[in-house]
């Protein structure tokens, strides 16, 4: 399981490094929010997987929708003149750390 | 629930995440490379190097002019043209000249600015220098320089922010205007009643004039190059 996750992450990183796609500076900010949301979704998925209540539909839809929504909210915030991306950063940051904490506890219990 | 499907979906999502991360890394890296402070530093450096280049070129111009002069001097066939050439060079400002004249010193009003004062009234402007130079020419000045910049037929005197451009060089106060000519004529021309010197003094700007027995005025250090103007042929001029 862990090997699979790391392996796929590595493959993804390699592909991303090779693909000649460059974002303009304007969109880099939204991409960073999207990355945070994606990280949160992945940690949430791993946590659910360890808690044995993993649902593929919820996981995949959560990943896609959260990512797009986070970027969209950041964009909307910029249009409105409110730094809405800070809200996304805080919320996702908190959740990432919570999920990490739960994953750690499971791992400690397991081994 | 630890099905194959779950593992596959996690794997795919992780791959997508990896791609996103990699793209973001790349973008952030290239973004930080041209952050604004770095750009400012870069431009400052460019300005510096270009300025150094310009200074080097100025020296080159002077040395080349010197060489040209040497070549001309050795050529005896040109000897009768030397006097003419000298006059032309002198009026064009291409050789340093010396002689009696006046030295005018102009400086900003030394009074501390009070709240509500318009600082423009206590500064020396490009127009002031222009007027003074004009007055000097009227009074028969044969050669003029401002802070060591020879005034030639093509010289500009123009405001450039807080400084003044003369021959595309920036000069700042105090402005020392040297003029060669009949010292008495020049002095009386400048100190004429209701003249420009007087109106400058009324504004509180320091303006002094003194006669001098021997003034040296440097040559114009830029290059003289005509891109558009062509001399008219003698025959055409004759008609």
Task: Decide if B19 and A54 are in contact by the 8 Å CB cutoff.
Answer: no
Model confidence at B24: pLDDT above 80 = yes
pLDDT bin (cut points 50, 70, 90) of residue B198 is confident
Give the pLDDT of residue B77.
Answer: 61
Q: Strand B97-107 and strand B175-180: pairing? A: antiparallel
pLDDT tens digits, B130-179:
999 999 999 989 999 999 899 988 888 988 888 898 888 888 888 999 99
Q: How many residues does this entry show for chain A?
A: 111
Task: Decide if B19 and A8 are in contact by the 8 Å CB cutoff.
Answer: no
In whole angstroms, what is the distance from residue A99 CA to residue A41 CA? 10
ipTM of the modeled complex = 0.81
Lowest mean pLDDT among A55-59, B5-9, B210-214: B5-9
Provide long-range contacts, Cβ within 8 A and 24+ apart, for A94-100: A95/A40, A95/A43, A95/A44, A96/A36, A96/A39, A96/A40, A96/A43, A99/A40, A99/A43, A99/A44, A99/A46, A99/A47, A100/A43
Task: Decide if A35 and B10 are in contact by the 8 Å CB cutoff.
Answer: no
- In this prediction, residues B106-129 reach a mean pLDDT of 82
Closest Cβ opposite residue A11 in set B15, B24, B25: B15
Give the pLDDT of residue B89.
Answer: 84
Give the pLDDT of residue B87.
Answer: 82
Of B222, B202, B77, B231, give the one whose Cα is nearest residue B128. B202
Model confidence at B35: pLDDT above 90 = no
Find, in chain A, the residue whose alpha carbon is nearest to that of B35. Answer: A25
Beta bridge partners of B99: B215
In whole angstroms, what is the distance from residue B2 CA to residue A105 CA? 19
Model confidence at A87: pLDDT above 80 = yes
Give the pLDDT of residue B80.
Answer: 67
Size of interface A-B (CB pairs under 8 A): 114
Q: A36 in contact with B at a CB cutoff of 8 Å?
A: no
Joined together, the tokens standing for residue B54 give 């310009």
Cβ–Cβ contacts within 10 Å for residue B170, how many? 13
DSSP B222: S
The answer to whether the beta carbons of residues A36 and A99 sit under 8 Å apart is no
Give the pLDDT of residue B146.
Answer: 92
Find, in chain B, the residue whose alpha carbon is nearest to that of A8. Answer: B15
DSSP 3-state assignment of B91?
A: helix
Find, in chain B, the residue whose alpha carbon is nearest to that of A44. Answer: B10
Contacts of A96 in chain B (CB under 8 A): none
Contacts of B19 in chain A (CB under 8 A): 12-13, 15-16, 19
Contacts of B25 in chain A (CB under 8 A): 16-17
Cβ–Cβ contacts within 10 Å for residue A59, how many? 21
Q: B5 in contact with A at a CB cutoff of 8 Å?
A: yes
- In this prediction, residues A30-56 reach a mean pLDDT of 86
Question: For chain B, what is the mean pLDDT?
Answer: 83
Model confidence at B1: pLDDT above 50 = no
pLDDT bin (cut points 50, 70, 90) of residue B113 is confident
Give the pLDDT of residue B23.
Answer: 85
Find, in chain B, the residue whose alpha carbon is nearest to that of A38. Answer: B17
């Amino acid at each position: 399981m862990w090997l699979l996750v790391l392996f796929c992450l590595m493959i993804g990183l390699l592909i991303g490094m090779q693909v000649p796609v460059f974002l303009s500076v304007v969109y880099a900010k939204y991409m960073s929010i999207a990355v945070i949301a994606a990280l949160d979704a992945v940690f949430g998925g791993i946590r659910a997987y360890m808690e044995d209540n993993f649902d593929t539909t919820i996981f995949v839809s959560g990943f896609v929708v959260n990512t797009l929504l986070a970027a969209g909210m950041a964009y909307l915030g910029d249009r409105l003149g409110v730094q809405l991306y800070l809200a996304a950063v805080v919320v996702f940051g908190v959740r990432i750390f919570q999920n990490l904490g739960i994953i750690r506890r499971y791992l400690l219990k397991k081994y | 629930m630890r099905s194959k499907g779950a593992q596959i979906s996690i794997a795919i999502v992780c791959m997508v995440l990896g791609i996103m991360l990699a793209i973001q890394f790349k973008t952030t890296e290239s973004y930080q490379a041209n952050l604004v402070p770095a750009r400012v530093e870069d431009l400052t450096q460019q300005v510096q190097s270009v300025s150094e280049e310009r200074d080097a070129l100025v020296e080159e111009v002077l040395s080349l002019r010197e060489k040209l002069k040497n070549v001309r001097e050795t050529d005896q066939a040109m000897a009768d043209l030397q006097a003419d050439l000298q006059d032309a060079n002198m009026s064009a400002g291409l050789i340093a000249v010396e002689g009696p004249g006046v030295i005018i010193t102009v400086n900003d009003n030394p009074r501390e600015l009070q709240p509500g004062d318009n600082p423009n009234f206590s500064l020396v402007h490009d127009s002031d220098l222009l007027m003074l130079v004009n007055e000097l020419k009227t009074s028969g000045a044969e050669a003029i320089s401002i802070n060591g910049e020879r005034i030639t037929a093509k010289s500009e005197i123009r405001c450039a922010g807080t400084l003044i451009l003369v021959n595309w060089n920036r000069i700042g106060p105090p402005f020392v205007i040297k003029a060669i000519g009949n010292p008495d004529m020049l002095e009386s021309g400048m100190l004429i009643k209701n003249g420009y010197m007087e109106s400058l003094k009324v504004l509180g700007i320091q303006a002094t004039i003194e006669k001098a027995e021997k003034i040296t005025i440097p040559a114009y250090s830029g290059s003289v190059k005509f891109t558009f103007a062509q001399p008219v042929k003698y025959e055409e001029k004759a008609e």
